[in-house]
Structure 1
Amino acid sequence: MHLLLAFISIIAVWIRKDYRAWKTYYSTMQYVALGNLTYNFLCASHWLWQLSPDIKWFNHSLLEMSYTFIVFPFTALMFLSHYPEEKSKWKVLLHYLCWIGIYVGVEYILMIRGSIIYKYGWSLGWSALFDCIMFPFLRLHYKKPLFTLIASVPMTIFWVWFFDIPVSVPIPKR
């Protein structure tokens, strides 16, 4: 299923011709990849969710790399490439709801298949809430990248604090 999502992302970007706009949205594609890398770094020993490989040779590292460098950036590209005119608030709202629905729907399928495992209080509900924050942040990053990077720091600190993720700073020995 995970490998299929990576292929679907590639094919969708190709069919929709969103790849033509990659330079316009490249920094936001990097932002979403950085977010996933940050999660993997901070939660390496205390993961809130973990993706289970469907295929033996497609191990956890390859799986995370496919999401970090293909699925998440390509969906950010598709989300931003077809963002509606801001004159129509209903179209904007429907655009957000569509993408949040896609992410929640796919994660629901992964959950019932056992391809995603939750721990330490995380659940599909928390993922849905996170998606409701993530998509506006993608748009905000496109419009105001420095502001979004700065705003992402307290958001990250909140999630680390709320889910009691152990973060220790190594003190060098003399």
Structure 2
Amino acid sequence: MHIFLTIISFIAVWVRRDYRNWERMYPTMQYIALGNLTYNFLCAAHWLWRMSPDIDWYNFTLLEMGYTFVVFPATALMFLSRYPEGAGFWRIIRHYLCWIGIYVGFEYIMQAQGTIVYKYGWSLGWSAIFDCIMFPFLRMHYKKPLLTFLLSIPMALFWLWLFDIPTHIPIEKR
């Protein structure tokens, strides 16, 4: 499933010709990648969700690199490339709901297959709530990157607090 999502993300960007917008969207593509890297760093010892490789040779490191550097940036690119700029309220809401639905739908399938595992109270419901925040943040980052970074800090602290994620990293003495 994970390799499939990586390949399908690449193909979708190509078929939809969204790659033509990559230079304008590049900072937001980096923002979403940075978000995933930050999660992996802060939650390495206390992860809330973790992708499980579904193929032996496609280990956790390769899997996370696929999501960080292909799937998530492709998501930002496709989401922003087709954002209904200047459209009515309901068309914009439909755009958000479509992307949230895509993310929740694929995660539901991954949960059913056992290729995503939850711990410490995280669930598909929390992922859906996170997606409802993530997509507006992607749009906000595209329009106002500095403001988004400033708002991302308290948002990250909120999630750390809510799920009681330890922020200290024990250092082993040699």
Please give the range of the TM-score, normalised by the shorter of the 2 chains. Answer: over 0.9
What are structure 2's unaligned runs of at least 5 residues?
A: none
* Residue of structure 2 equivalent to 1:120: 120
Could you report, residue by residue, the CA deviation over 1:50-106 in whole angstroms, capped at 9, with x for unpaired residues?
A: 000011010000000000000000011000000002331111000000000000000
What are structure 1's unaligned runs of at least 5 residues?
A: none
1:84 alignment partner, SS class: coil
* Residue of structure 2 equivalent to 1:110: 110
* Residue of structure 2 equivalent to 1:60: 60
How many residues are aligned here?
172
> What is the distance in 1 between the residues matched to 2:149 and 2:33?
13
Q: What is the identity, as a one-letter code, of the residue corresponding to 2:38? A: T
Q: Are positions 1:92 and 2:84 aligned together?
A: no
Q: What is the identity, as a one-letter code, of the residue corresponding to 1:10? A: F
1:77 alignment partner, SS class: helix
* Residue of structure 2 equivalent to 1:10: 10
> What is the distance in 2 between the residues matched to 1:9 and 1:32?
15
> What is the distance in 2 between the residues matched to 1:14 and 1:47?
33
* Residue of structure 1 equivalent to 2:81: 81
> What is the distance in 2 between the residues matched to 1:85 and 1:68?
27
Identity over aligned residues, as a percent? 69
> What is the distance in 2 between the residues matched to 1:69 and 1:7?
12
* Residue of structure 2 equivalent to 1:42: 42
* Residue of structure 1 equivalent to 2:132: 132
